[in-house]
Chain A
Amino acid sequence: MTIRTEPMTVNVGPQHPSTHGVFRLRITFDGEEILEVEPVLGYLHRGSEKLAEERNYVQIVTLTDRLDYTSPMINNQAYCLAVEKLVGIEPPLRGKYLRTLAAELQRIASHLIAVGFFVQEMGAFGTPLMYAFRSRERILDLFEMLCGARITVSYMRPGGVFADTPPDFWPALARFMEDFRAEFSELEDLLLENEILLARTRGVGPLPPNVAINCSVSGPVLRASGVNWDWRKMEPYDAYDRVEFDVPIGTNWDNYDRFWVRMQEVRQSMRIIEQCVEQIEPGPVRVPDLPLVLRAEPGAEAYGRVEASKGELAFYLVSDGGISPYRCKIRSPSLINLTVTEHLLVGWTLADMIITLGSVDINMGEVDR
């Protein structure tokens, strides 16, 4: 006797515990296996690009905080680089170091969230997530010392950063780095060789390098697919040409590699921060005597990109000579990384789907802008 079966369509999201915000996937299942995937975007659209056209160049910094709300510092950095190219200014050295430092702290915080939620979605009840958040809290405290805000930092400005560090920042940073080394080792001990984590992630959701390149994937996802591609190395901005670090590359292209690359990048970020602390010297933090409202040549255009925690984040600005950009295009890594959804998910099961999506680490604030 055969039992008649039929495929079942399920809406995963926009309200689902593990869709990283309001992301929706319309999935057709055969039992637990995925036959078709259709991502549905746009639930968090706020029109950031259009809003940018109504604000002056410094005000737009506050819009960038709200793109990828897990890494506002790096968003600030990408935007400021674009404006600096457009206007033709270069921040002083201390400003560059402070930006690098803040961006790397932010990268650690963002990767901690990614790893924590990745393992949470695998079903670990909170412990790895809480271990990760414990350290992230400290980083946000440091940001609070730098600029008074924890998430919507708006710390960087075109031409540098908005203020020098308070005197108690450096001892606090040293204390944090000392504690974080131990805390991160704890997280590594819990996760890296975890038998169940290996069983769940090894060989699951491989993303071949050619597919990744065809879809313009970037960031840890691309590096986990075995492609050495890091803008901090290839086109060093701020102080990245003055610090040493390695770029971890995956070999198996799978979920475990994406997770592993992030864990290794946290280690590399710690190296960069240590070097920044050693090398930084007193001096101005922002180009002096900048006008309050910046203007660029009519018709000038600039493309500023950084290696954000999720991939290549870029701002493309076109000026018409006014006080605000004529056009501000945001190339957000999460949106582009989502284009491989179908390659990654079709043929795998529901349980794999959740963790594969977690390993890509999307952020809806950035996808929908």
Chain B
Amino acid sequence: MFCGESILRDNPLFRVIYDGASYFLPCWLSYLVAGVVIMLILVNAVLLGAAAASWMERRLLGRFHNRIGPNRWGPFGTLQPIADLIKLLTKEDLIPAGADRIAFTLVPILMVSTMILMTAVIPFAKDTALADLNVGVLYFLAVSSLTAVALFMAGWSSDNRYALFGAARGVAVLISYEVPVVLSLLGVVMIAGSMSLGAIVHAQQVPFILVQPLAFFLFLAGMSAELNRTPFDVAEAESEIIGGYHTEYSGIKFALIQAAEFGGVLVVSALITTMFLGGWGGPFSEYLGWLWFLLKSILVVALFSWIRATYPRLRIDQIMGFCWKVMLPLSLINLTATTLEVFFLPENGTTMGEQWIMAGINLTLALVCVPLFGKLMREKARPGSSPAGARVVPGIPTIESS
């Protein structure tokens, strides 16, 4: 066995527990104990974080809506998620008669476990990632696309036509948005020269939101789509298909799906913080890194809530068009520009000065490209002339005026 030779050894907390346990336990057992302890901490932190994120979103949405939001249970309503959970736990756990019971039951588990798996590579502060994989970005993307499978399982096994609509839409959106999301992260990876999230944070002399503005917006939009959030929430469009793939879920299963959704927002916010906002970087980052990371993540969660409160939903064909006609070209432009910059700059974009130069070039590029593509899409989406009716009854004159 490895006995100490492991990727987990980079984590100081793991080392402490492992060393302590190995005084009186065989090394394979202390390895197991340390792993389980760390995982329990992480899983609970993520689930509590999801609860906190749901509370924050509901409070924020309340403010956006000119209302107060949940404020009855606990100070400022902070215990509201717990109350909701208890309510959902006591509800009857319904499985529709025609449902595929195994697949139906597996979906919430799959969704939550994917969400928790994603947190494994996120560095919450210096050297605190559970596993600072050298393919961290790739791992994150691979695990996050497992959601598509869960989504389709839910839609297919529910034996509900609305769920089927939601699943078909969701899978189409998820698969399409993988492409621009991956391409937009490629620029970041190229500058950092590594796929390890820790290395990416270290590489950010200037926060990458300035160095890679296009990539940031593409990633934000792509992740909104992957998280099923407005304006891309067609997979669970409540006003159209009654919640889409999770129409038939109730009780604890529904609670888990909701937890996976809010946890997903949290995890993606953490990833955006890591990739674009300088991660744990900030004043006294040796000691206060976790605080900066938390603050930045909360800011991104608030941004997601703000977007959700503002925009109506796009139609599925418009979303696909936006992906393939706007986001893909933009991500390719960003990739090309970044490649050239990294290639031609003497230090390959690793010093602060060079990153400021790249920031200047890329910001200009973004300011040119985004309005340009916006204009193209707008002209496509809004026909100027009066549309001809599909089924006109001939021969009846129009009444012009009274």
A211:B387 contact, CB within 8 angstroms: no
Binds A, one of B74-82, B189-197, B331-339, B378-386: B378-386
* B202 at interface by CB-CB < 8 Å: no
- 30 contacts across the A-B interface (CB closer than 8 A): A17-B238, A18-B239, A18-B240, A121-B240, A122-B312, A123-B231, A123-B240, A126-B65, A127-B65, A130-B67, A195-B378, A199-B378, A199-B382, A200-B315, A202-B383, A203-B387, A208-B389, A209-B399, A211-B392, A213-B396, A213-B399, A214-B396, A227-B399, A252-B386, A252-B387, A343-B391, A346-B390, A349-B316, A350-B241, A351-B313
* B91 at interface by CB-CB < 8 Å: no
B315:A228 contact, CB within 8 angstroms: no
Residue numbers in B under 8 Å from A122 (CB-CB): 239, 312-313
A206:B387 contact, CB within 8 angstroms: yes
Residue numbers in A under 8 Å from B390 (CB-CB): 206, 343, 346-347
Partner of A17, one of B161, B234, B239, B312: B239
B61:A126 contact, CB within 8 angstroms: yes
Closest to B402 in A: A234
Closest to A202 in B: B382
B61:A125 contact, CB within 8 angstroms: yes
Residue numbers in B under 8 Å from A354 (CB-CB): 239-240
**Complex A-B, nearest 9 residue pairs according to Cβ-Cβ distance, in ascending order:** A123-B313, A208-B389, A130-B65, A122-B312, A199-B381, A124-B312, A210-B396, A121-B239, A234-B402
* A181 at interface by CB-CB < 8 Å: no
Partner of B312, one of A123, A228, A343, A347: A123
What 13 additional pairs, Cβ within 8 angstroms, besides A195-B378, A213-B399, A350-B241? A8-B161, A122-B239, A122-B312, A123-B313, A124-B311, A126-B64, A199-B318, A203-B387, A209-B399, A210-B395, A253-B387, A343-B389, A351-B240
Within 8 A of B (CB), among A196-224: 196-200, 202-203, 206-211, 213-214
Closest to B389 in A: A208
* A352 at interface by CB-CB < 8 Å: yes
* A194 at interface by CB-CB < 8 Å: yes
Question: How far in angstroms is the closest Cβ of chain B from A129?
Answer: 8
* A254 at interface by CB-CB < 8 Å: yes
Q: Taking A124-B312, A200-B314 as contacts, is the C-beta distance between A351 and B387 under 8 angstroms?
A: no
Residue numbers in A under 8 Å from B402 (CB-CB): 228-230, 233-234
Residue numbers in A under 8 Å from B237 (CB-CB): 123, 351
* B308 at interface by CB-CB < 8 Å: yes
Question: How far in angstroms is the closest Cβ of chain A from B45?
Answer: 28
Question: How far in angstroms is the closest Cβ of chain B from A230?
Answer: 8
Which A residues are within 8 Å of any B CB, using their own CB? 8, 10, 16-18, 32, 119-127, 130-131, 134, 190, 194-200, 202-203, 206-211, 213-214, 226-230, 233-234, 251-254, 343, 346-347, 349-352, 354
Question: How far in angstroms is the closest Cβ of chain B from A208?
Answer: 3
Question: How far in angstroms is the closest Cβ of chain B from A137?
Answer: 10
A198:B381 contact, CB within 8 angstroms: yes
Q: Which has the most chain B C-beta neighbours within 10 Å: A8, A121, A230?
A: A121
Q: Taking A120-B239, A213-B396, A354-B239 as contacts, is the C-beta distance between A253 and B386 under 8 angstroms?
A: yes
Residue numbers in A under 8 Å from B392 (CB-CB): 208, 210-211
Residue numbers in B under 8 Å from A349 (CB-CB): 315-317
Closest to B238 in A: A17
Q: Taking A17-B239, A346-B390 as contacts, is the C-beta distance between A196 and B399 under 8 angstroms?
A: no
Partner of A352, one of B231, B241, B315, B378: B315
Question: How far in angstroms is the closest Cβ of chain A from B208?
Answer: 27
A209:B398 contact, CB within 8 angstroms: yes
A198:B313 contact, CB within 8 angstroms: no
* B162 at interface by CB-CB < 8 Å: yes
A125:B230 contact, CB within 8 angstroms: yes
One digit per residue, 1 when the CB lies within 8 angstroms of any chain A CB and 0 when it does not, for chain B 211-236 equals 00000000000000000001101100
Residue numbers in B under 8 Å from A202 (CB-CB): 381-383
Instruction: Report the interface size for chain B: residues with CB under 8 A from the other chain.
Output: 50
State the CA gap A207–B308 with chains docked (Å).
Answer: 31
A198:B382 contact, CB within 8 angstroms: yes
Q: Taking A206-B389, A208-B389, A211-B391 as contacts, is the C-beta distance between A123 and B239 under 8 angstroms?
A: yes
Question: How far in angstroms is the closest Cβ of chain B from A125?
Answer: 5
* B397 at interface by CB-CB < 8 Å: yes
Residue numbers in A under 8 Å from B240 (CB-CB): 18, 121, 123, 350-351, 354
A10:B66 contact, CB within 8 angstroms: no
* B393 at interface by CB-CB < 8 Å: yes
State the CA gap A214–B162 with chains docked (Å).
Answer: 34
A16:B312 contact, CB within 8 angstroms: no
* B210 at interface by CB-CB < 8 Å: no
B378:A210 contact, CB within 8 angstroms: no
B66:A134 contact, CB within 8 angstroms: yes
One digit per residue, 1 when the CB lies within 8 angstroms of any chain A CB and 0 when it does not, for chain B 149-173 equals 0000000000001100100000000
Q: Which has the most chain B C-beta neighbours within 10 Å: A123, A127, A210, A213?
A: A123
Q: Taking A123-B233, A126-B61 as contacts, is the C-beta distance between A351 and B316 under 8 angstroms?
A: yes
Residue numbers in B under 8 Å from A343 (CB-CB): 389-391
Question: How far in angstroms is the closest Cβ of chain B from A247?
Answer: 9
Residue numbers in A under 8 Å from B162 (CB-CB): 10
Residue numbers in B under 8 Å from A233 (CB-CB): 402
Question: How far in angstroms is the closest Cβ of chain B from A190?
Answer: 8
Residue numbers in A under 8 Å from B351 (CB-CB): none
State the CA gap A368–B308 with chains docked (Å).
Answer: 36
State the CA gap A211–B392 with chains docked (Å).
Answer: 6
